Chains A and B, each alone.
Chain A
Amino acid sequence: EDQVTQSPEALRLQEGESSSLNCSYTVSGLRGLFWYRQDPGKGPEFLFTLYSAGEEKEKERLKATLTKKESFLHITAPKPEDSATYLCAVQTRDSNYQLIWGAGTKLIIKP
């Protein structure tokens, strides 16, 4: 069964303390892996798409990487405004646009 697992469930960091969020996947074939950010009471906001192992993408303090089994979202010198839930999702080879979602990592950055 296709599955996406995110860890940890929650992560508390001090401002400026860099860390990584993990998204591991077990799927029949990967077409793309997606990272979204979700603020409380709002819809998810698209961050990155990665399509092949070895690919990396960056946006401000965020960097996403992809291997054949997992993806990492690295957060460098985070600020309180980076606090949010980060969602990972994958599109499998036999899907028509649909995504399989992880449960998310709630990130809290303390000033």
Chain B
Amino acid sequence: DVKVTQSSRYLVKRTGEKVFLECVQDMDHENMFWYRQDPGLGLRLIYFSYDVKMKEKGDIPEGYSVSREKKERFSLILESASTNQTSMYLCASSFGVLDRLNYGYTFGSGTRLTVV
């Protein structure tokens, strides 16, 4: 069964901490994405990557960074956690094709992060 695995289901961190969210996929997908999901705001793209060591900003990159050292792993980093970063974080992956057409994501189960 193909999978996108997020390392933690629930995390509680203190304001100012550096937080790492890890995501691993076993489908040999080129593309990986980080979203956050908040009630009433839907899914918002933070960063995505379509190749190892490549990254592009999404709609809300402020306060976040990412790392993709290996094809299967995409990490989201909260440089200094703040309470407004309390949210559900979702990782997704997809195949990459020359015309950059999206054929559908596979999502992980999500990490619910609470910053206190």
A is bound by B: yes
Q: Are B48 and A41 in contact (CB-based, < 8 A)? A: no
Q: Are A104 and B42 in contact (CB-based, < 8 A)? A: yes
Give CA–CA (A21, B56) in the complex, Å.
Answer: 33
Listed stretches B66-74, B76-84, B102-110; interface member: B102-110
What's the nearest-Cβ distance from chain A to residue B31, in Å?
Answer: 6
Q: Which of B41, B58, B102 is most buried by chain A, counting CB atoms within 10 A of its CB?
A: B102
Q: How many A-B residue pairs have CB under 8 A?
A: 64
Query: Size of chain A's interface in residues, with CB distance under 8 A?
Result: 22
A59 interface residue, CB < 8 Å from B? Answer: no
Chain B residues with CB under 8 Å of A32's CB are 101-102
Q: Is the interface of A mostly helix, strand, loop or mixed?
A: loop
What's the nearest-Cβ distance from chain B to residue A70, in Å?
Answer: 17
- Give A residues with C-beta under 8 Å from B: 31-32, 34, 41-46, 49, 87, 89, 91, 95-99, 101-104
- Give B residues with C-beta under 8 Å from A: 4, 31, 33, 40-45, 48, 50, 56, 58, 90, 92, 94, 96, 100-110, 112
